[in-house]
Amino acid sequence: MIRTVPTQPFGDQKPGTSGLRKKVKVFQQPNYAENFIQSVFDVVEGKQGATLVIGGDGRYLNRTVIQTAIRMAAAAGFARVVVGQGGILSTPAASHLIRRRGALGGLVLSASHNPGGPDEDFGIKYNVANGGPAPEKVTEAIHARTLSITQWHAASGPDLDLDTPGEVTVEGMTVEIVDPVADYADLMETLFDFDAIRAAGLTVAFDAMSAVTGPYAIEILERRLGFAPGTVRNGTPLEDFGGHHPDPNLVHARDLYDLMMSADAPDFGAASDGDGDRNLIIGRGRFVTPSDSLAMLAANAHLAPGYAAGLKGIARSMPTSAAADRVAAALGIPAFETPTGWKFFGNLLDAGMATICGEESAGTGSDHVREKDGLWAVLLWLNILAATGKSVDEIARDHWARFGRNYYARHDYEGVDSAAADALIAALRADLPALPGRRFGPLTVAAADDFAYRDPTDESISANQGVRVLFDGGSRVVFRLSGTGTSGATLRVYLERYEPADGYLDTDTGTMLADIVAAAEEIAGIARHTGRTRPDVVT
């Protein structure tokens, strides 16, 4: 039996950088999740006879919303839904499954690196047939639908057993519960030289942060690659991530950082986030910024079997440092600069214009799926270490000696009053024309703009993607408001200083960026607008 339930629109269901993210309590309102899922199904065409993938990062509410989504998919006319056992699918594994099964799309349930639990965050994202996040025209149509929805439809019946692999039928639709890890692990074996990694005798610490990558990392690192038991830390996914932020940065993965800087450090340390798409890379005594990691992976990717033929192009988000551009120039391949959000890479990957992509927000990935992929980055690093016999520190130093170094940091001001944050950005935009030629300490502004992107594959334009102030000599500061937060506004200030290959290549980042930090305050009036004199998080 199919039920039709009358409902009324919610005014706050506009998807952000990465799907709809809200507090669990917001999602628990009657009809809230149903309205959004129905809006997705109302907008998406071709559901009759099609396959839909469903899974999430295991956080609180995951199982409840999966049961809802299955019932609603049956009512929407899907022929089959493929669900990760236990409701688990990492974001990159979901992307792979959508592609491998020729699915119409997938519902990925996660709030990524945000904390989980009854008082924390939840999210729903729709991915399209290429396995990537829905492009803006789809998310805009979904949002429009959420504002006019009047009813939703669902099969009735008891909850399904999500923990036993196999098939059952709901209102004529097949529900297939699958091993969430196997297909993904097989894909990794096609890209990387597992024998060489095994033979290299490296020691590794991987922190799964009590989030979704635990089962993937245990299968790949400990079972298939033979790293010692215990290599994977915090490897059991928990609904509240053990009360931590599953965000692989120097603040929230502090234990791993301390280990890697200690006398007991293994050769290689890494962590991933709630849904498995982000990565943190730390060699013994050497943290690698995400922007540098992208550049170093791109420069060495040909050492892994999956990329032996070379790269077609490299793409990075605008706030990501320009280190990768220098690699692209050296390789003689195109470099693309996109707005923040993995969805902007999808067209470039589909068109075969880029092979490797990355973002300062700890995301790196390639054309093997259409999401960023934390374990992929870990395995590519391990493959490079195995193939070169060098340490992470040596790879980094060699890289800078060849390309120069882009010193980089991001300062986040969290939970800022939204009106104050909007006023700061508005004032910045108004000041843009007056900035070129102005001096801030030793820095002179070469150019300033509000970043707009023209997608070279479909000519679509995305405007207002962040204010950037470029200084003479390749340094810059970028101001942007986060599109992923769930309370107040988060102001992100991205700081970058280029130091040529014959310059200071191994100096403290804070020291190297001090002039740019001072210029950023002077240009944006952060303290005046927000009342904050220092950032909450520095990554």
| Residues with a known catalytic role | 112
Does the footprint of Zn ion cover residue 325 (CB under 5 A)? no
Does the footprint of ligand G6P cover residue 483 (CB under 6 A)? yes
Which does residue 275 bind out of Zn ion, ligand G6P, none, counting CB within 5 to 8 angstroms by kind? Zn ion
Does the footprint of ligand G6P cover residue 338 (CB under 6 A)? no
Cα–Cα distance, 275 to 262 (Å, whole number): 28
Does the footprint of ligand G6P cover residue 341 (CB under 6 A)? yes
Give the E-state strand segments of 51-170 in sequence order. Answer: 51-56, 80-88, 105-109, 121-127, 151-155, 166-170
Measured from the CB atom, the residue of 168 and 452 that comes closer to ligand G6P is 452
Six-digit token string for 508? 């403290």
CB of 278 to Zn ion, least distance (A): 5
Does the footprint of Zn ion cover residue 317 (CB under 5 A)? no
CA atoms within 13 A on the CB side of 311: 32
CA dihedral 387, 218, 60, 105 (to 10 degrees): 60
Within 359-463, residue ranges assigned H as helices are 374-388, 392-403, 418-431
Which does residue 279 bind out of Zn ion, ligand G6P, none, counting CB within 5 to 8 angstroms by kind? none
Which does residue 342 bind out of ligand G6P, Zn ion, none, counting CB within 5 to 8 angstroms by kind? ligand G6P
Site for ligand G6P (CB under 6 A): which residue of 316, 492, 497, 529? 492
Nearest to 70 by CA among 60, 58, 82, 61: 82
Cα–Cα distance, 365 to 93 (Å, whole number): 12
Does an H or E element contain 167, and which?
strand 166-170
Nearest to 451 by CA among 471, 435, 467: 467
Residues written for the chain: 539
Residue with tokens 């005594």: 285
Site for Zn ion (CB under 5 A): which residue of 277, 292, 367, 496? 277
Residue with tokens 């200071």: 504
Measured from the CB atom, the residue of 275 and 367 that comes closer to Zn ion is 275
Cα–Cα distance, 276 to 293 (Å, whole number): 17
User: Residues 149-188 vs ligand G6P: string with x where CB under 6 A?
Assistant: ----------------------------------------
Site for ligand G6P (CB under 6 A): which residue of 139, 482, 486, 539? 482
CA distances from 475 to 122, 419, 491 (A): 37, 29, 20
Nearest to 414 by CA among 305, 535, 331: 535
CB of 125 to ligand G6P, least distance (A): 9
User: Residues 103-132 vs Zn ion: string with x where CB under 5 A?
Assistant: ---------x--------------------
Q: Order the strands of the 335-338 sheet from edge to edge.
A: 335-338, 314-317, 356-359, 363-366
The footprint of ligand G6P on residues 7-36 (CB under 6 A) is 17-18
Six-digit token string for 414? 């969290």
Which does residue 363 bind out of ligand G6P, Zn ion, none, counting CB within 5 to 8 angstroms by kind? ligand G6P
Site for ligand G6P (CB under 6 A): which residue of 363, 374, 466, 535? 363
Does the footprint of ligand G6P cover residue 247 (CB under 6 A)? no
Cα–Cα distance, 470 to 232 (Å, whole number): 41
Measured from the CB atom, the residue of 40 and 386 that comes closer to ligand G6P is 40
Does the footprint of ligand G6P cover residue 361 (CB under 6 A)? yes
Which one of the spans 224-232, 260-268, 275-283, 505-513 is the region binding Zn ion (CB under 5 A)? Answer: 275-283
Does the footprint of ligand G6P cover residue 63 (CB under 6 A)? no
Which one of the spans 78-86, 94-102, 357-365, 522-530 is the region binding ligand G6P (CB under 6 A)? Answer: 357-365
Cα–Cα distance, 506 to 274 (Å, whole number): 32
How many residues bind ligand G6P, per CB under 6 A?
14
Which does residue 99 bind out of Zn ion, ligand G6P, none, counting CB within 5 to 8 angstroms by kind? none
> At what angle are helices 290-300 and 374-388 packed, to 10 degrees?
50
CB of 441 to ligand G6P, least distance (A): 27
Cα–Cα distance, 311 to 298 (Å, whole number): 8
Cα–Cα distance, 243 to 165 (Å, whole number): 30
Query: Going by C-beta distance under 8 Å and a sequence separation of 6 or more, which residues neighbour residue 389?
Result: 200
Does the footprint of ligand G6P cover residue 57 (CB under 6 A)? no
Which one of the spans 39-47, 209-217, 301-309, 476-484 is the region binding ligand G6P (CB under 6 A)? Answer: 476-484
The dihedral region occupied by 276, where left means phi > 0, alpha psi between -120 and 50, and beta the remainder, is left
Cα Rg of the chain (Å, integer): 23
- Cβ atoms within 10 Å of 40's Cβ, excluding its own: 27
Six-digit token string for 271? 């962590």
Does the footprint of Zn ion cover residue 530 (CB under 5 A)? no
Which does residue 17 bind out of ligand G6P, Zn ion, none, counting CB within 5 to 8 angstroms by kind? ligand G6P
CB of 441 to Zn ion, least distance (A): 37
Site for ligand G6P (CB under 6 A): which residue of 78, 257, 342, 408? 342
User: Residues 107-146 vs ligand G6P: string with x where CB under 6 A?
Assistant: -----x----------------------------------
CA atoms within 13 A on the CB side of 530: 27
Does the footprint of Zn ion cover residue 275 (CB under 5 A)? yes
Six-digit token string for 417? 């009053």
Measured from the CB atom, the residue of 90 and 361 that comes closer to ligand G6P is 361
Measured from the CB atom, the residue of 120 and 499 that comes closer to Zn ion is 120
Does the footprint of ligand G6P cover residue 290 (CB under 6 A)? no
Question: Footprint of Zn ion on this chain (CB under 5 A)?
Answer: 112, 273, 275, 277-278
Applying CB under 6 A, which residues contact ligand G6P? 17-18, 112, 317, 340-342, 359, 361, 363, 482-484, 492
